[in-house]
């Protein structure tokens, strides 16, 4: 690599819902800003995995609109490598500079956490979560003794909204956008200096 040349960073996002759809959009904006300042270059090579389709209930808190209803979520996001599949195997995670989990699914988190922590991690990962008024950012730098605590919960997939959410627009929580913003800030700082980032952050508003 020549001096001053920018290496494209390969990022995998698992989940294109409330968090992942916004994170992908933020990363795209970084690429757009980079191209404006230095035509022909990108900061990020973005791959997004999600087998889900856009539903009417998604419109209030995910980065989609009416024209996307019924379409695969990943295929509604331009400027990415769209993978309309679920992540089920370890081998799907490898080959990236950073893997970001935005899926509220314990099985996926277990798969991610099995890759290890700290300097022993097989790959570098970031886990972004949101439920109702609560959100969390957890990175591979977290103390591995926290693993069991961080994997407490029910099996299956869940919404970023509160468990008792009835679909009403007036009751939508936006913590998914908050944690996506924190995620992009963490990613930017980590790629610049991977020692200067937090290991975990909990937020409640």
pLDDT digits (tens, 9 = 90+) for 27-39: 999 988 888 888 7
Tell me if 133 is assigned to some domain: yes
Q: How many domains does the chain have?
A: 1
Residue 3 belongs to some domain of the structure = no
Residue 13: strand pairing partners: 48, 100
**What CATH number has the domain bearing residue 58?**
3.40.50.720
* pLDDT for the residue numbered 48: 98
Q: Using an 8 Å Cβ cutoff, are 133 and 174 in contact?
A: no
Average pLDDT on 169-184 reads: 82
Q: Which pTM was predicted?
A: 0.89
Q: Name the average pLDDT for the chain.
A: 86
- The answer to whether residue 184 sits within a structural domain is yes
Written as one string, the DSSP assignment of 62-121 is SS--GGGTTSBGGGGSTTSEEE-S---SGGGG-S-SEEEE---BHHHHHHHHTT-SGGG-
- 140, pLDDT greater than 90: yes
CA–CA separation, 78 vs 82, rounded Å? 9
User: In the predicted model, what is the mean pLDDT of residues 104-130?
Assistant: 91
Residue 154, domain member (yes or no):
yes
Contact 126, 183 (CB under 8 A): yes
Q: Which domain holds residue 80?
A: 9-204
**Residue 4 placed within a domain:** no
């Amino acid at each position: 690599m020549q001096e001053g040349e920018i290496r494209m960073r390969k990022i995998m996002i698992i989940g294109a819902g409330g968090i992942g759809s916004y994170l992908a959009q933020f990363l795209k904006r970084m690429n757009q800003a980079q191209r404006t300042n230095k035509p022909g270059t990108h900061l990020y090579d973005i791959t997004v995995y999600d087998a889900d389709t856009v539903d009417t209930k998604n419109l209030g808190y995910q980065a989609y609109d009416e024209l996307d209803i019924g379409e695969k979520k990943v295929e509604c996001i331009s400027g990415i490598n769209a993978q309309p599949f679920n992540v089920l195997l370890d081998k799907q995670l490898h080959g990236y500079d950073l893997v970001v989990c935005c899926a509220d699914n314990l099985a996926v988190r277990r798969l991610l956490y099995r890759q290890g922590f700290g300097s022993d991690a097989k790959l570098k990962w970031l886990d972004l979560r949101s439920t109702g008024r609560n959100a969390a950012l957890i990175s591979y730098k977290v103390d591995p003794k926290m693993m069991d605590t961080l994997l407490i919960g029910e099996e299956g997939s869940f919404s970023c909204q509160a468990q008792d959410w009835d679909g009403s627009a007036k009751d939508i929580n936006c913590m998914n956008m908050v944690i996506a913003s924190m995620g992009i800030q963490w990613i930017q700082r980590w790629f610049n200096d991977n020692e200067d980032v937090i290991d975990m952050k909990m937020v409640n508003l």
